[in-house]
Structure 1
């Protein structure tokens, strides 16, 4: 029976090739032809073969989130918004850049070494300018940082906001305390952050600064400049 049906196929059986509409994921090719059916009569049978070229999604970039203020371990001190000194925009951005650097180096936390790198990555602030004027660059700090704290495992993914180490949190609170003591108004600047890092003698950030030639004399010089308008905006 099957051989009888096949014998009815004519060499002139119409055969057409048509292209399906373009797929959003890539080209699609489709072949369709008319095949007489020995049992059911003539019918349209479509044989479609689809080739899809899938595109891998683009990797999502790591984004630093800039908040309106910086974390504090002493919420009771800032319960009255009238007495809260404001952080400069460049200080907040430097902190965000430090978080980002910690994530890039696959650190589980944001430490004083990351905060120090954040100051230099932001680059336009007074602390970064002071560091560069004294020969302390981002490249040197990053190199020293990896000596103290090696990069994390390549398969480890840092959280979006790596939690602060205790010494890094103390740096932020030290900066706020110093501004409150000065009672001179104005904002908490990147210079306060840099001096806060130096005040934490056992922290990686302090040790990196010391290894690169920063000392108490330079800290005093920077402190004398804090009262000058920094125009960090």
Structure 2
């Protein structure tokens, strides 16, 4: 569509048809263009909506994996500690530097931050989708206007109808359709990069620090307990 007004000018210039037949030819060409365009637009939007569903699934799975990973790390560490100290009469209170409840709170905060990060990415993708949808609607409206204007030319006599069509081709603003390709490319790139961006949200420095600190605290507590039990090397 971006150059359809120019194509209309050429159609008028080379058709050799004058008067009402010329107008009918122009309107038919525009109608065909509009039909093909709307079909392409609808298919494209459907595909983009499928991509949005895919992105939602990627985000949901990433957050589930993050949550289960931190929960499992806490539960595993807690089980290792309890397996070591349960049944012993030795006072281990001086070794209990791993505060499980605090780690659960930290894990909840990390998950909340990751969710906020991913929600921002999803909102950006949705905004990009809406922009392309608006572009399509604007371009379709432009084609409908072009169709109506060409049809209106049939009310004139032969010479005036020809001049009317030429005028439409020369004055129609094609800019309504020129942004679609650019904005569609932006959305496509966003979709292609979404998994990596989500990975950045969940594999944050806070998450890495969480795992490292939990391991260090557990190792320290275990070493302390083994010394009290006289089992340290």
For normalisation by structure 2, the TM-score amounts to: 0.24
Structure with more helix by fraction: 2
Structure with more strand by fraction: 1
For normalisation by structure 1, the TM-score amounts to: 0.24
Bigger RCO (CA 8 Å, 6+ sep) = 2
